Structure formats: structure tokens, C-alpha cells
């Protein structure tokens, strides 16, 4: 269970003493939250730099408090010790929502309100994630599913239990694994990837999807990828039908004049190119 301690920041000496007194220097999985009023932003920047030096392994979350912070408590620093899994989850969601807009008074009431604020942030995140019309999923650095939204479950027909912790590549056709793996690696390197791929859904039917992979970055370090996609099977069928109508006779299925002309022009271009190459030799 997470343990939180907080103090009103007064000066560097007071903060150093508080950190040492509470044995925070070697504390793993530590989240430091700095609550400040907008007019105290300069002091906040100096404090942030100090904490980075004193606690280089800690994750720091900046929380502008608006008018909720009493004047006599200009800056409040909260130290929360999480498990590794809890901290990774919070940082992942912080990548989507980087600012908390509420603050509470220090003392035991601080912790209760802070936990409530995190719950609200979780609800915003889940709303964006679950109510998205496109399917959305996330993977860890090994390509295993860490989350999927409702649209994903509806699109592919699998349950969440069948997906979480499983390799995403195991759900696609084997011949597409090298290409999908290449896009995954490129996304981990910070390069957004958009591609089209055929994937069998749970019923066994193969559908065509357009997928975009983007890196999940926490504190400047990639911790996984997001995948966002949609089913474009009907769109592809429509495109093929348009091409069929444009280039082929409706009754016979044979290429029409437009298609014949294009093929003839293409062959003439190839012949000309070949002749020019022969002359150069």
C-alpha cells in the first residue's frame, strides 16, 4: 500500500533535513509531487532542480494548485512510496494528463484529497481510453499487451483476460510478423509508424486494419508503445470496386479502353527505357 508524507517547503536546508529525517534518499519507487500557486512558479522551478539533485531516482510530478493552496502554504511537497507496478501505472497515465488542478491542505486531510484527485485523473484517462471510437491498446517493451480499450475487445472478439500479458505478435499472421516487429522497433525508437495489415479476428475471419504505433515516453525514456487503429475492410472493398468499375468492363470483366491505354503506355515507357539503356552500353 502506498505511503505518503508531505511538508510545506520553506527553504533548502529545511527540505534536506526533512528528506534525511524520513529516510527518503534511498527510497525506491518514490513519487514526488510539488503543489504550487502560479505566482510562485519561479520558486517552484528552483525547488524542482533541488529535488532532482537530492533524489535523482525519484519521479517528479508538477501540480499547479490554482487558488486552492493557502497563501501561508506557498509550496507543498508530497512524497509517496509506491510499489514498482503502482508507480509505473501512475506515470503511464501522467503521460496523458500532466497537470493536476486541485490541491488540499497539508496534514492527514492532504493525503485523502490527493488520493481522490488521482482517482479523478484515472476516470478522465479511462473515459478517453474506453470511449474512443478507434481501438486503442498499449504494450510493454517486450511487445506484450498491457491494456486494451472496449473498442479493441469489440473489434477483435477477445476478452481482456485473453489479451493482457500476451505478445501482440501472436495474434497476427506469421508471414506478417517480421514487418509488424519492424514497425514496433521503430516506434520504440521514437518514430511514429502507420501501416495497413490483415489480422484474423477471433471468429477466424480476416479483416484489414490501419494501425498507428507511437512510443510511450516517461521522463524521457520509452517504456512501451500505444497502438491506435481502425477496421478499413469495407473501405478497401469500396476502393477495389471503384477500380473494377473504372478499368474493367462490367459485363465481360475484361480490361476496358482506359485500362488498355494505361497498360500500353506503361509498356512503351519500359521499352523506351530499355532502348536508352542499351544505347548507353
**In the chain, % of residues over pLDDT 70:** 66
| Gyration radius of the chain over CA positions | 28
| Higher per-residue pLDDT: 146 or 85 | 146
Better-scored residue on pLDDT, 99 or 180: 180
What pLDDT score was predicted for residue 172? 93
Which one-letter DSSP state was computed for residue 176?
G
Q: How far is CA 178 from CA 72, 209, 213, 216, 223, in A?
A: 60, 17, 15, 22, 21
What integer pLDDT is reported at residue 232 of this predicted model?
A: 85
pLDDT band at 107 (very low <50, low <70, confident <90, very high): very low
Q: Quick one: average pLDDT of 216-236?
A: 86
pLDDT, residue 188, reads: 93
pLDDT of residue 274: 67
Note the pLDDT tens digit of each residue in 140-160: 999 999 999 888 999 999 999
pLDDT higher than threshold 50 for residue 111:
no
Asked whether residue 117 carries a pLDDT value surpassing 60, the answer given is: no
Q: From CA 195, how far away is CA 179, in angstroms rounded?
A: 10
Predicted confidence (pLDDT) per residue in 9-21, tens digit: 888 888 888 888 8
Amino acid at each position: 500500500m502506498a505511503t505518503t508524507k508531505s511538508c510545506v517547503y520553506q527553504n533548502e536546508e529545511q527540505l534536506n533535513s526533512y528528506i534525511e529525517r524520513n529516510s527518503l534518499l534511498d527510497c525506491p519507487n518514490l513519487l514526488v509531487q510539488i503543489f504550487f500557486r502560479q505566482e510562485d512558479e519561479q520558486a517552484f522551478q528552483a525547488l524542482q532542480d533541488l529535488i532532482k539533485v537530492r533524489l535523482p531516482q525519484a519521479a517528479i510530478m508538477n501540480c499547479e494548485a490554482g487558488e486552492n493552496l493557502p497563501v501561508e502554504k506557498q509550496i507543498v511537497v508530497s512524497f509517496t512510496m509506491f510499489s514498482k507496478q503502482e508507480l509505473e501505472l501512475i506515470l503511464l497515465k501522467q503521460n496523458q494528463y500532466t497537470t493536476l488542478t486541485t490541491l488540499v491542505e497539508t496534514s492527514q486531510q492532504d493525503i485523502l484529497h490527493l488520493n481522490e484527485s488521482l482517482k479523478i485523473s484515472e476516470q478522465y484517462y479511462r473515459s478517453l481510453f474506453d470511449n474512443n471510437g478507434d481501438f486503442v491498446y498499449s504494450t510493454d517493451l517486450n511487445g506484450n499487451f498491457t491494456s486494451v480499450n472496449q473498442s479493441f475487445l469489440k473489434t477483435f472478439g477477445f476478452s481482456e483476460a485473453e489479451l493482457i500479458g500476451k505478445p501482440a505478435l501472436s495474434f497476427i499472421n506469421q508471414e506478417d510478423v517480421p514487418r509488424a516487429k519492424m514497425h514496433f522497433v521503430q516506434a520504440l525508437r521514437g518514430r511514429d509508424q502507420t501501416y495497413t495489415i490483415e489480422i484474423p479476428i477471433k471468429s477466424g475471419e480476416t479483416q484489414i486494419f490501419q494501425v498507428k504505433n507511437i512510443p510511450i515516453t516517461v521522463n524521457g525514456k520509452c517504456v512501451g508503445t500505444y497502438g491506435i487503429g481502425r477496421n478499413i475492410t469495407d473501405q478497401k472493398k469500396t476502393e477495389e470496386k471503384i477500380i473494377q468499375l473504372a478499368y474493367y468492363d462490367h459485363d465481360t470483366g475484361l480490361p476496358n479502353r482506359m485500362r488498355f491505354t494505361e497498360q500500353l503506355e506503361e509498356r512503351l515507357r519500359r521499352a523506351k527505357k530499355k532502348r536508352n539503356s542499351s544505347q548507353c552500353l
